[in-house]
Amino acid sequence: MKTATPIQLTCPECRRDNEPERIYCHDCGARLDRSALAGRRTGKIETSEELHKRMRGMFSQRRIKAQLFFFKSAKLILIAIAAAALLVILIAPEVPPAVKSEEFPPQINLNLETLTESRQPQTMQFSEEGVNAYLASALKRKKEKLNHPLINFERALVAFSEGNCRVTIERSIFGYSIFTSGDYAVQIEGGKVKTSPRSGAIGRMPIDPNVMPYAGFLFSDVVAAMDREHKLLNKVGSIQLHEKEIAVTSAQ
């Protein structure tokens, strides 16, 4: 059963409730505010159930619109973040340009063999420039093995600073270069080369240090390509990293 709720017009002067059809107050004669009757439907009084249903529909529409606006905004934000991340990835870090040298590269592998066979304590220093020249020559012969579907290997280079070795690998996708780099502490421990990751980046987007121990796959193919040199380093006594230089000492 529907129960109609009558509308009363309250006088703004004496506060008396008047019938809805009145224009002036029954007691004091003041003009009544009939704006409350403007939304009333002709010939029908809205019941409490109808009012509740109408208000619920209004709020439901607002909620749906708010949800659609939220999802559209979130989608745009995610697209903007992805585009910004891609841009940062494609920006090349500060690395020297690739140089094609016709000079005969240093034979670091032969030097390491001599060092490991030495019966007397001996230390050899290799410059950053010499190591990079050797890497360019050695990896050039293995470039086909380092290429992957859609991804081409371009070069690998190192940068030495006190106690740190930065490894940077350049690959290209559809002609666009992407650089991956990692900073490592290097030492000989238990007769093997041990590398401890410190930080890294893809392009100029940093990799969280906590993720670096799991980012070895970014460099594993190049490490595998340098397996001979890696095995030779496992036989040395110590490795010391200095500015623009690495010192390797034979085992005692």
For domain 108-249, give the CATH number: 3.15.10
Q: Which residue has the higher pLDDT, 49 or 211?
A: 211
Give dist(CA 17, CA 8) in Å, integer.
6
Q: What is the pLDDT of residues 201-252, one digit of tens each?
A: 999 999 988 999 888 888 999 999 999 999 999 999 999 999 999 999 998 7
With b for 16 or more beta-carbon neighbours within 10 A and e for fewer, the 166-192 pattern comes to bbbbbbeeeeebbbbbbbbebebeeee
Mean pLDDT estimate for the chain: 85
Q: What is the pLDDT of residues 100-152, one digit of tens each?
A: 765 678 899 999 999 999 888 899 999 999 999 999 999 988 888 899 888 99
Type of residue numbered 119: R
Give dist(CA 86, CA 162) in Å, integer.
32
Give dist(CA 83, CA 85) in Å, integer.
5
Residue 1 binned pLDDT confidence (cut-offs 50, 70, 90):
very low
Both tokens of 24, joined, read 């002036």
Q: Where are the domains of the chain?
A: 1-46, 108-249
